[in-house]
Structure 1
Amino acid sequence: MTTCKMVHALAVSATLIGTGAFAAGHEDREGWPESFTVGTASQGGTYFAYGAGWANLVSEELGITGGGEVTGGPMQNMALVHTGEAQFGMTTMGPAAESLGGTNPIAPGLQMTNACAMFPMYQTPFSVTALASSGITTIADIPDGARIGFGPAGSTSDTYFPRMMETLGVDFERRNGGWGDLGGQLQDGLLDVIAFAAGVPVPAVSQLEVQTDVNIIEFTEEEQAAILEAFPVAQFEIAADTYSTLESPARSVSMWNFAIANCDLPTSFVKAVVDVVMSDNERMVNIHRAAGSTLPENWDKNGVLMWHPGAAEWFIENAGADIPEDMIHSSM
């Protein structure tokens, strides 16, 4: 497995200023790790910004060294969390289901059942961006043999977007890389299109808008219907105020993302982490706008992963979650 690069680790004092009440509620720290990592994705994408942000928040609140790691995205995060190489990670429901079924390309045949659901994050819209100078304004405009960047290999985008494009009859050359790198390649004329699957606003798209004119391409109603029929996604609209380029909402499809935890982590530790993230949504939205959907009531968007018992306990107590016992992981 590719060794992940730790890009941010924040050591903090165990003396927590302004969080005395919270700390007092979690005095039982038996078995808690001395540090933790959160598997994110490539720099320039939403996973990295969102994941590094909540890792730092948890580190500060709980007084534990922690931070985000650059990874290959959801598929690799499932593997890292399953094996315990990362305590936490983030995934989308499609890659999660494939990982549980043993079809994760990182470790074919391995059923990654030791990665548990922790909390709902946000929906990942699938969107297409091209330079305005390309003349590409619709999916049908994409020329045969177009060089399309699909994100890091094994990411949600790379797993599903090529299949979606094939379903829509697009002929393309497949390219991979981090979102920031692909944005630079698009701007330099080395790519024709980038097919993003990331929480919006995607940092790489926002950066492109500052530097050049782009087209954010929506699906037609017919294209959206074809994708909805073929893939585990839902209808979605990218709001007009997401990007300066958009003048009206853009029709899209999306897939839910969840934070995940190694199932063997102490119940009290995971419950405390969930409490930090879910108890103050304004702090999360300040980290990334996509966190507007990181709300307790969205616990029911997980129909794939077993729940970590600490997370399940938090949602049952604080969100009235009706989580069946057979969906809560047990070491028994």
Structure 2
Amino acid sequence: MRNLTPKVFTGTLASALVLAAASASAQDRSDWPSNFTVGTASQGGTYFVYGSGWANLIADELDISGGGEVTGGPTQNLALVHGGDVAFGLTTMGPAADAVKGESPLAPGVPMDNVCALFPMYETPFSITALASSGIESISDIPDGARIGFGPAASTSDTYFPAMLEELGVNFERRNGGWGDLGGQLQDGLLDVIAFAAGIPIPAVSQLEVQTDVNIIEFTEEEQAQILEAFPVSEFSIPASTYETLEEDARAVSMWNFAIAGCDLPEDFVYEVTKVTMENNDKMRNVHRSAEHSIPENLKHNKVLPFHPGAVRWYEENGYEIDESLKK
């Protein structure tokens, strides 16, 4: 009988510890939202697929109701997160920089200080294409008054690429349209250049180079440095394997996409969301292949938004440093 007492005590203690842990877990969730929404963009685009899939992953892993919502994209998502209309959203560093400074077109003069960064998603490269027959082989070759297609109106490309080219002294006529349509216009001689901000390989360019000779125009080192100084973009290199036309990697810039959260969301909740996302990259890649870049090593590409305290806790616990200026 004397041997039973320690066993019974140990079992009772173990049960008590399990119950205590369960109780603590329940307490940890007491201030969690009952559900959440991720602001994405229009249906069918990368943002919608990525954001909806990520929302489903979080909902499944944390046993909480959540999903993606169709929105107007990066700029509107910042406003929705800031106002608490959605818990999470997807955006790019350009609109984020404008929002922080109170220069968002949706809320002029209102600094959006309730928007925090969560994690890096992927980068959107900026690239330039012209027909080889045009003789345009560099940005400095683009003639005054050139007709340049910048993609859909109000897109990331249309918002930032014109300003970048103006920064580099290019004078042009601005044209808008879908990438496929603009590719056709370039081939028909109705455009001189197309300035893309889109994932590579760009189908319109791949199709063009099958049908005619094209030039993929890279930035010089000086041009790249000038744009890096003036805009919230990062260095990028278009791999030579991307297009048949390229014989070597082409220098460019890119704008990073980041997931964002309301800064007032509970720290423990955001910690768990970050943990699930950063520790399940295989599942994230199943959501969208671009998520191969959704890894902590790419935190450095956010120099604009403060990171949510919950996200900071996970990163620092796992050996990733966050600059003090980017802590909320």
* 1:129/1:215 contact within 8 Å kept: yes
Q: Is the 8 A contact 1:201 1:290 kept in 2?
A: no
| Structure 2 counterparts to residues 291-310 of structure 1, below 5 A | 291-310=291-310
Give 1:103 shift. Answer: 1.2
Using the TM superposition, name which of 90-99 and 24-33 deviates more: 24-33
> Which aligned pairs between 1:89-128 and structure 2 lie closer than 5 A?
89-128=89-128
Match of 1:218 in 2: 218
Q: What displacement does 1:169 show? A: 3.1
Larger relative helix fraction: 2
Structure-2 separation of matches of 1:272 and 1:47: 22
What's the counterpart of residue 3 of structure 2?
none
> What SS does the corresponding residue of 1:196 show, helix, strand or coil?
strand
CA RMSD of aligned residues (A): 3.4
Percent identity over paired residues: 58
Q: Tell me, in whole angstroms, the C-alpha distance in 2 between the residues paired with 1:206 and 1:24.
A: 54
Identify the residue that residue 9 of structure 2 maps to in structure 1: none
In the alignment, the residues of structure 1 paired with residue 68 and residue 207 of structure 2 have an alpha-carbon distance, to the nearest angstrom, of: 29
Change (3 A) 1:34 1:207: farther
Amino acid at match of 1:163: A
The 5-angstrom pairing of residues 57-96 of structure 1 reads: 57-63=57-63, 64-73=65-74, 75-96=75-96
Match of residue 206, structure 2, among 202, 206, 209: 209
Distance in 1 of aligned mates of 2:53 and 2:130: 29
List gaps (5 residues or longer) in structure 1.
1-22
C-alpha separation in 1, matches of 2:133 and 2:30: 59
Residue identity opposite 1:206 in structure 2:
P
Q: What's the offset of the Cα at 1:134?
A: 7.0
2:5 corresponds in structure 1 to none
Deviation at 1:101, TM superposition (A): 1.3
Give the counterpart of 2:181 among 185, 189, 197: 185
Helix, strand or coil for the counterpart of 1:113?
coil
1:1-332 pair list within 5 angstroms: 28-42=28-42, 46-63=46-63, 64-73=65-74, 75-130=75-130, 138-140=138-140, 142=142, 144-153=145-154, 155-176=155-176, 182-189=178-185, 192=191, 193-198=193-198, 200-201=199-200, 205-206=202-203, 209=206, 213=210, 216-243=216-243, 246-322=246-322, 324=324, 327-329=326-328
Pick the structure with greater CA Rg: 2
TM-superposed deviation, 1:77: 2.0
The 2-side partners of 1:263 and 1:99 are apart by 14
C-alpha contact (below 8 Å) 1:72/1:152 kept by paired residues: no
**Partner AA of 1:30 in structure 2:** S
Compare 236-245 and 306-315 and name the one that shifted more: 236-245
Quote how far apart the aligned CAs of 1:112 are. 0.2
Q: Determine if contact 2:43/2:70 at 8 Å carries over to the other structure.
A: no
Number of positions where the alignment pairs a residue of Structure 1 with one of Structure 2: 297
Question: Closer, same or farther in 2 for the Cα pair 1:249/1:319, shift >3 Å?
Answer: same
Partner Cα separation in structure 2 for residue 133 and residue 287 of structure 1? 41
Decide whether the 8 Å contact of 1:37 with 1:69 is kept in 2. no
Residues 43-85 of structure 1, C-alpha deviation per residue, up to 9 Å, x if partnerless? 6754444334323332333342302524232x22211211122
Task: State the partner residue of 1:17.
Answer: none
In 1, distance between residues paired with 2:68 and 2:137? 39
Deviations 1:85-136 (A, max 9, x none): 2221223333322211111122110110001111122333221245678776
The one-letter code sitting in structure 2 at the alignment partner of 1:223 is E
Query: Normalising by the residue count of structure 2, what TM-score does the alignment of the two structures yield?
Result: 0.75
Task: Name the aligned partner's letter for residue 100 of structure 2.
Answer: L
Describe the superposition over 1:179-236 as per-residue Cα deviations: whole angstroms up to 9, x where unpaired: xxx12321442873442334x336xx23663587465432233432442343343322
In the TM superposition, what is the alpha-carbon distance from 1:140 to its structure 2 partner?
4.5
1:189 match: secondary structure: helix
